[in-house]
Structure 1
């Protein structure tokens, strides 16, 4: 239950503060004249003054975009434009504003208020997408790799470093109902339509309790009066290309935005694995794989907000996406005896075609009362469907190369359909006493999915494909969550306190065509949260927080339908899984000045009955992989983010995260282990004048799992952009992994096996992108 950003502007207030000094002497300027303009009325400004120490604090400002002007006799007038006070950042510190006292230069200086690429706030980290030159022509998956604390694995799955179950939200609402669908969505979602990406490590009580962290993707809302937009196109040497268009139309009472994006990707993978099976006689399995996937995706979104009157407003959006892909894979599987001599070889060719369709409808109604209270009614409906046709051909050979048996031919038809409906009602009010803000609300979420697999194997006796009952199944899943929350925020001088609690009732049932049906008795959980923050001299901030979270097993983890695309390594879900509970603690500290900032944080999480994928080797040497409530787990993480503005044209940033993970199982001591997850990211940008810019990012990733460890992998990205024709046209050249291809070595261990796998992806890519921006300001707006 959360407030979306559009519509809240009429319901909350913010502040502006800073200090004015002499540029040359660094002395403060007392009683300086300050004029503040709101973007909705650029003619009527309000006057303020700095105090005896040159400091100013402007309170009770309606959220929106402002222009502020500083003037004083003998000083050059200075104007700062486009200062955004939002629901996520209602208090903006302009820092030190320096005025030039040169009496020979009395012309006004106008500067744009430029948000930094990364902002560290009390309960989250905000990555402002439009401040990176990599944003134009990319997709969401590419941008997420640049975000501090976010780890994107070789398959494109995004998680918060050190956390096991990360939720993906769009505009503050869950969008990851299906684990497969969110990957498809992020791979085609154009970055030109993104405003920012928020990494929320300390979710408040109004957020759903499922998941131990949230990545919230904020879409552009359109802030310029009139019609504006941009169009981009990008092509790469790997054969990938994409195009996108974003448009926005804004007036005083309404704003509309729309975007459409197309993406074509070509992915090449190769790998090998070597496994030792420890039985009476040790046997070995050596496997090599090569696969190529080509995918075409299209996504579109239209949304807007309308102020009905001074008390009422509505917000809506509709988005949808479609993708179609083809995959071809080849594998060789060598079965060896204890002397490493070949017993037989299985060669397999898989062909699969899959399509995915989704759409989402979102509506919010806001009502503001005269007593500083407001209501929000929200509705969300989402539907996703997918279909996959698979063709498996398997050939078995003796050591001398002769056919061992007739080839095994199999056809699989997989279909999935999911429906999700959420309704929420939220109330918030504020009091002057301790600057209190009180929030409360209720929500009902209804989620269901239907997954079917029809498998047929070729019968050489009849010459026909016959249904294979051991692989044919259907799985119908339903989960309803009913919740209520209350949360309060207080501010006492430089202290701020947030306390809340959330109650959730979970009702789960599922059934399968072949097998048992389950109806889990509804269960109730409470999720308290507490956060304390302290600001010191506008240079330091200190925060401490606690919250309780839950990880419910998703349908993909519960689904018992067998995936035998690799018969040497079968995969299926486990319907006996139960939810995992996590207690999270975090200590934050930030220190900053005009040119640099450092923000370290320590976090600790303790989880019970964690859900992990576990591989087991059977007596025949083949393996099965399924999910288990493995053990209790704890993680201790240290993260630091730093930013340094070396000069007007140079800016550097870096982040480092290390997490120590421990597993403790009372049932199976083989799972008592520990290890480290590491992510580091170093980046920088440089501007050559006002038209040419360069940026680089280098990443390093290493992770630990319950059964093994993944070696470190390095990723690099370099880009140069040139603006032309009054910044209307931009050309960018990007090099991705120009020095090496991306590879990942994984070691997996069990009681009776040891496996080492190498996965290599062709990632060296050189991209050229072209973008065009335009703004058509209406005549009345121009006059203002």
Structure 2
């Protein structure tokens, strides 16, 4: 029945286009006139390709004033290459014609006389990039922030790539984005972020987000879009925001590619290569990467338990490490059926192997300074997983280039296996034990996405879309205790769990955009029907959840100048409980701090508002904004203590969370030597719950800074610092975290090759501290990464590296 509804909606969209669409021979004029005039001359011409004078569709034609090269007027050529520029004041001009895949053509000394009103420029001939030399040098790169109506787009340039091996490295350098101790992205210091890859959910590439981000090569990324108040066009989930990672899709004719090798200390190595080929209507791209990684850590936990008559004290201290290797491969094909229709096919494959170990000493005292019981818990674990993802995309353009129909789909399947061995050593016989934990999972998911964009008028656009996502996951989590008499492991049903879950999400969305010379508006509504079923097979318990959510959004912009604008954004977000949060299985890997799910969780709804100003030019700019996030049923982890001093942590809807403050990002090029960019914010965070007896409020500040210094002989030095200030969390406070990285690079072989030396976490300051205080306990915890990462990287590029660009 749902498939029938889906087809009916598609039919309706097609019918709307048939009834309301403009004739095929009608083209909307594109007017980017800087200063409108009421009367003047007219320029006409046609853009063609050398040597056969074939039509070049939709080239950008800019008319520049001869005296200072400022933009005077401009249009986009139609599908036949014809352009007309009207209302041109008398004077001398320069005509600049650009189009992806072609060399920029500049026509000087274009004169418009006072007495003449028509200038025929004839054919403007462009030369395809494929006709240039077989080796093309990089002219430059951009690390430029573009402020759109509902997002900020950060172009990934050469500076960021030089000291970034993977997407995780890139995200740490993006304004407002940081990573927590597990490698999960945060926006404005908070988790619950939706991460997309080319507009599709990142979980199509695997179940573990940090592993996905670490395996995705940085040199495949074109830009990263950050949405702190996303419009209804994007995923409704993610209380903190949405990050969309846009990969490169080369349209350049010929062959280009590159390779990268990074050697690091403590077995942190990375190698990758990519190749792109395009001839005529056909394009092919492929990439392969592999890495080995190793990280060591130490942790402490100190807790006073007040719940029983006699206060007990728990002290934990230990260290451990995680290491592994990952392989990632990608192949894609695109084919332009004609000027209006194109297809893309792709496949991604990843495989990850991990090893982890920990050694944790647990000491409990009933009398200060006197240890009543002590045991050491040693863990050795390993795991592996794989994932394959298939993509099919179809795009149809109509007479107006902004009039489009897109269909995208992804299907992925994968699985993982793991095993952990716990050895508990103690002088107390009852505390000695040996346990085995075996894990296995299989997953699959299907994502379908349909978008229709209809420019109703040259200044107003309607977008409608349908989304459906279906996934399933079967999990087995088996615990075994060793029988000390027989020496064999015996299955423990009380702490084992076999469960399966499936979910299905059906979404309809609509956005309407209206633009004038000064004002812009985008209003949207997203309706999502979410269904989830969890089956605890091991105990014969099955339950499901169903949520119907509405996510409205509104964005307003007002241009103040050629590059400056004000904007006001509002969005309602929803954080639906994840399967692991709902599943009431109890994790006893740390027997003094156990974890469990909560099947009674409800969705968290967050209201997000932002008012900002932005002014970005080629030399730099800044974008300050006031922001506010409010939720009255926030999902967060709550820790409770029983009389034996064992804590239970699970997610719960605690009450009200509020954050508000001032944030700005900035970039500036200072002369020809120094370029800086970064972001900073000063904010208030509050977590309040009468039921849970929580009332935490604090002022704080955070920020990051990237600096790039150009030295003689093609050397460039880069430095990166990030500080995430303290903030209120449920039941306590999390302290600030400081990170500093530094690198130096040199281009050679006519800028086709780069060698760089980088140091991450220079001061070994990646430490996470928190204090929790309730009526029943007081706890301080500390976690720190203990190995500094140092690597030497060589990168080589060949072929058609760039279709142009400006040095930045």
Q: Which of the five TM-score ranges fits, normalised by the shorter chain?
A: 0.7 to 0.9
- Give the stretch that moved more between structures: 687-696 or 367-376: 367-376
Query: Are 1:431 and 2:459 an aligned pair?
Result: no
Q: Distance in 1 between matches of 2:98 and 2:795?
A: 25
Q: Distance in 1 between matches of 2:675 and 2:572?
A: 37
Query: Are 1:495 and 2:519 an aligned pair?
Result: yes
Give 1:308's aligned residue. Answer: 337
Give 2:224's aligned residue. Answer: 197
Give 1:743's aligned residue. Answer: 767
Give 1:692's aligned residue. Answer: 715
Q: Shift of the alpha carbon at 1:593?
A: 5.1
What secondary structure does 2:208 align onto?
helix
How many residues end up aligned between the 2 structures?
723
What secondary structure does 2:266 align onto?
coil
What secondary structure does 2:213 align onto?
helix
Q: Shift of the alpha carbon at 1:260?
A: 0.9
Give 2:145's aligned residue. Answer: 118
| Closer/same/farther in 2, CA of residues 333 and 228 from structure 1, 3 Å limit | same
Q: Distance in 1 between matches of 2:198 and 2:430?
A: 56
Give 2:194's aligned residue. Answer: 167
Instruction: Return the match for 2:257 from 229, 234, 247.
Output: 229
Instruction: Return the match for 1:623 from 627, 638, 647.
Output: 647
Query: Are 1:341 and 2:370 an aligned pair?
Result: yes
Instruction: Return the match for 2:562 from 523, 538, 541.
Output: 538
| Closer/same/farther in 2, CA of residues 675 and 32 from structure 1, 3 Å limit | farther
| Closer/same/farther in 2, CA of residues 316 and 752 from structure 1, 3 Å limit | same
Q: Shift of the alpha carbon at 1:283?
A: 1.1
TM-score normalised according to structure 2 size: 0.83
What secondary structure does 1:556 align onto?
helix
| Closer/same/farther in 2, CA of residues 535 and 371 from structure 1, 3 Å limit | closer
Q: Distance in 2 between matches of 1:236 and 1:36?
A: 54
| 1:541-690 aligned within 5 A | 541-592=565-616, 595-668=619-692, 670-676=693-699, 678-689=701-712
Query: Are 1:375 and 2:405 an aligned pair?
Result: yes
| 1:76-91 aligned within 5 A | none
Q: Distance in 1 between matches of 2:362 and 2:301?
A: 10
Task: Report if aligned partners of 2:260, 2:794 keep a CA contact under 8 Å in 1.
Answer: yes
Task: Report if aligned partners of 2:477, 2:498 keep a CA contact under 8 Å in 1.
Answer: yes
Give 2:116's aligned residue. Answer: none
User: Which deviations, in whole Å up to 9, do the C-alpha atoms of 1:124-158 show, x marking residues without a partner?
Assistant: 22222233244466111111111111011122111
- Give the stretch that moved more between structures: 594-603 or 470-479: 594-603
Q: Distance in 1 between matches of 2:50 and 2:28?
A: 15
Instruction: Return the match for 2:156 from 129, 139, 144.
Output: 129
How big is the alpha-carbon RMSD for the aligned residues of Structure 1 and Structure 2?
A: 3.5
Query: Are 1:415 and 2:440 an aligned pair?
Result: yes
Query: Are 1:215 and 2:243 an aligned pair?
Result: yes
| Closer/same/farther in 2, CA of residues 222 and 371 from structure 1, 3 Å limit | closer
| 1:385-396 aligned within 5 A | 385-396=415-426
Q: Shift of the alpha carbon at 1:297?
A: 0.5
Task: Report if aligned partners of 1:81, 1:112 keep a CA contact under 8 Å in 2.
Answer: no
What secondary structure does 1:667 align onto?
coil
Q: Shift of the alpha carbon at 1:239?
A: 2.3
Give 2:170's aligned residue. Answer: 143
Query: Are 1:258 and 2:286 an aligned pair?
Result: yes
Q: Distance in 1 between matches of 2:778 and 2:50?
A: 66
Task: Report if aligned partners of 1:135, 1:143 keep a CA contact under 8 Å in 2.
Answer: no
Gaps spanning 5+ residues in structure 1: where?
A: 2-9, 21-29, 66-72, 86-109, 398-402, 779-784
Q: Distance in 2 between matches of 1:76 and 1:56?
A: 9
Query: Are 1:529 and 2:559 an aligned pair?
Result: no
User: Which deviations, in whole Å up to 9, do the C-alpha atoms of 1:99-119 show, x marking residues without a partner?
Assistant: xxxxxxxxxxx9957433433
What secondary structure does 2:724 align onto?
strand
Give 2:273's aligned residue. Answer: 245
| Closer/same/farther in 2, CA of residues 38 and 162 from structure 1, 3 Å limit | farther
What secondary structure does 2:500 align onto?
strand
Give 1:756's aligned residue. Answer: 780
Task: Report if aligned partners of 2:295, 2:786 keep a CA contact under 8 Å in 1.
Answer: yes
| 1:698-709 aligned within 5 A | 698-702=721-725, 703-709=727-733
TM-score normalised according to structure 1 size: 0.85
| Closer/same/farther in 2, CA of residues 61 and 676 from structure 1, 3 Å limit | farther
Query: Are 1:468 and 2:492 an aligned pair?
Result: yes
| Closer/same/farther in 2, CA of residues 775 and 608 from structure 1, 3 Å limit | same
- Give the stretch that moved more between structures: 373-382 or 621-630: 373-382
| Closer/same/farther in 2, CA of residues 776 and 690 from structure 1, 3 Å limit | same
User: Which deviations, in whole Å up to 9, do the C-alpha atoms of 1:154-198 show, x marking residues without a partner?
Assistant: 221112115442011001111136995211111221112111111
What secondary structure does 1:672 align onto?
strand
What secondary structure does 2:581 align onto?
helix
Q: Distance in 2 between matches of 1:46 and 1:135?
A: 31
Task: Report if aligned partners of 2:206, 2:414 keep a CA contact under 8 Å in 1.
Answer: no
Q: Distance in 2 between matches of 1:16 and 1:289?
A: 65
Q: Distance in 1 between matches of 2:141 and 2:695?
A: 49
